[in-house]
Structure 1
């Protein structure tokens, strides 16, 4: 596996700009900068869907509609009134998993949503590098979201995805954007949920099992056939930028770190270390009773995260 290069990583193929975001779902394979095919799904969200009458004809907003519903009728050429959330799932997940679909549904109430499957997961190509080359997959998804017409992008990652959104924000700054700044891969706000602060952590039983799954040939067979996750057999070389190093480089982009006080994978020194590294541009929420990642995140917490992101991504 190859890690971060000096400066910023290679750019994926830029998606041509769109005048306005789509009003319906779009599913396609993106191409990461190293050529890996990434399965991705765009959903316009509750405020961006085209509503149709029983005959299938579009319905125009009327004077009696709420402001939230009327936001769906954005004039041609105008920027989307709400951000697009790009969701980075955890290890062994994919965009079709029920827990990822639940996350997308909640965030879809506050904006458009892009979900995708990391390499080695689901229908995407390649093999998982467990957080290293996955930053290229996220960059491709962010570029696609901007190319579809969204001016504001929020990346939200869980567990492995939480480490990926941190590294992505550190490696892809707004100054590295494409022409007119519309096809850039940078994010406007970052949410990292249940992420590690450092690599190779083995201090809990779940993390010792995960290392066996990733580092042993028999473990990788279990990953392929038991979890539908194809894992690369090569070790990191070089070791990529750690999450805590990345957190220190994200400013001035707003960063929210969310962690459960009952997380069985990573104890509370991980989120606290990340928050300390982020400084004034980082915010830490320690959630009482919450476990690990997507399956443990309750709906009210996801709504709070979405509201935080909408307020800060402008």
Structure 2
């Protein structure tokens, strides 16, 4: 009997030794699957739909009632588009809980938003073309070496003397669409400039290049350079670049020395929740989905390796924090404190690195590229003032 405890300890040791290879194999499998999944999203993510939810709408006078959910409970402004045969669009103000419903006031309305309609509701507010805002525009294309990129051109309004020679080039993000930036169109119109809402290779609706892989801002910059050529050929004399999420990385990639001189001068850059460091972003995404920090780091490292192996991606070329000392143009930067897609620490670091160039707005409570929704009037005023200042030759 005295030998039993020793025998049990020996048995447990044998079991642990046998289990260790299986645990190691299981851990490696998790890392491999996570990396392959992460690489696929990084390289190919795109969708034909603007993010939102479809819900029934209740209406009483100037108030709308929506079922409570993540999108309908979001802070700030949302948009509502009833499904056909109903036609219309409404912009709704901040929400308040009313039992299991969310009550929001109608701020703007075009057409009819009837009681009982099934409707698309989104913090991106719009899901169509500039016509959804009652704005005249023209469909056009930006010619690039890999094909014609679709774009919307909104001519200058002429409301501000001296600004009609300027084009604001608006670049959407990873997996995004041009409609996501329509919220800012009224402010852009008030600046008196023209605007061109563009897309880039391998995004939804754009030509496929190579294997269809995104390059995270590197080669996509050539499509924005082509938009600058389009601007010159259509009579514009100067430009402002305006990028959202990955679009922010794209417009900052345009500023690299090898792309200069530009077809027309670029006066300034506007950035909304930009991706500035893809390595940190990939790691952040792993932690966001609940992976322990060590596992998330291993998945992120292997994801980067897979991305580079498949596409030849050089992460250094799209590291805008490393490039910050070389920037020379004035910038305005917004980033939300509740951004779970791109860590706000990246925006903090860029603003700290170049306070001489960057006007930074750290928006409390805003999710990814939803800074406008928290306070549209404030955001619009900041954007309009920035455009006015850079066109007058000012800096932050």
Same fold (TM over 0.5): yes
Structure 1 CA distance, aligned partners of 2:258 and 2:240? 13
Matches within 5 A, 1:1-314: 25-32=137-144, 34-45=145-156, 47-48=157-158, 68=159, 80-81=163-164, 83-95=166-178, 97=179, 99-110=180-191, 111-126=193-208, 127=212, 128-171=214-257, 176-177=261-262, 183-184=263-264, 186-201=265-280, 202-205=282-285, 234-237=311-314, 239-251=316-328, 253-293=329-369, 295-298=370-373, 299-300=376-377, 301-314=379-392
TM-score by length of 1: 0.65
Partner Cα separation in structure 2 for residue 27 and residue 109 of structure 1: 21
Structure with more strand by fraction: 2
Look up the match of 1:7: none
Q: Distance in 1 between matches of 2:153 and 2:258?
A: 21
Between 1 and 2, higher relative CO (CA 8 Å, sep ≥ 6) is seen in 1
Given the superposition, is the C-alpha separation of residues 244 and 237 from structure 1 closer, same or farther in structure 2, using an over 3 Å criterion?
closer
Which deviates more, 274-283 or 135-144? 274-283
Whole-angstrom distance in 2 between the partners of 1:156 and 1:205: 24
**Distance in 1 between residues matched to 2:390 and 2:175, nearest whole Å:** 30
Counterpart contact for 1:80–1:149, Cα < 8 Å: no
The Cα shift of 1:283 comes to 2.3
Residue segments in structure 1 that go unaligned for 5+ positions in a row: 1-23, 49-67, 72-78, 178-182, 221-231
Separation (CA, whole Å) in 2 of partners of 1:302 and 1:206: 34
How many aligned positions are there?
235
- Larger Rg over CA atoms: 2
1:224 corresponds to: none
Question: What CA distance in whole angstroms lies between the structure 1 residues aligned with 2:266 and 2:239?
Answer: 5
Give the CA deviation at 1:149.
1.8
- State whether residues 221 and 250 of structure 2, in contact with CA within 8 Å, keep that contact through their aligned partners in structure 1: yes
The runs of at least 4 consecutive aligned structure 1 residues that moved more than 6 Å come to: 206-209
Contact kept in structure 2, 1:259 and 1:271, CA below 8 Å: yes
CA distance in 2, matches of 1:172, 1:308: 27
Q: Tell whether the 8 Å contact from 2:243 to 2:272 is kept in structure 1 after alignment.
A: yes
Q: Is the 8 A contact 1:83 1:152 kept in 2?
A: yes
Q: In the aligned structure 2, how far is the partner of 1:258 from the partner of 1:31?
A: 30
Give the TM-score of the pair, scaled to structure 2.
0.52
Unaligned runs of 5+ in 2: 1-135, 290-295
Cα deviations by residue, 1:120-170 (Å, 9 ceiling, x for unpaired): 223210233232211111111122123222223110101100111112123
CA distance in 1, matches of 2:140, 2:202: 16
Could you tell me how far apart the structure 1 residues matched to 2:287 and 2:215 are?
A: 16
**1:37 CA drift (Å):** 2.5
The whole-number CA distance in structure 2 between the counterparts of 1:288 and 1:172 is 37
Q: How far apart in 2 are the matches of 1:167 and 1:279?
A: 19
For 1:93 and 1:80, the matched residues in 2 are separated by 29
CA distance in 2, matches of 1:39, 1:131: 18
Indicate conservation of the 8 Å contact 1:259/1:287, yes or no. yes
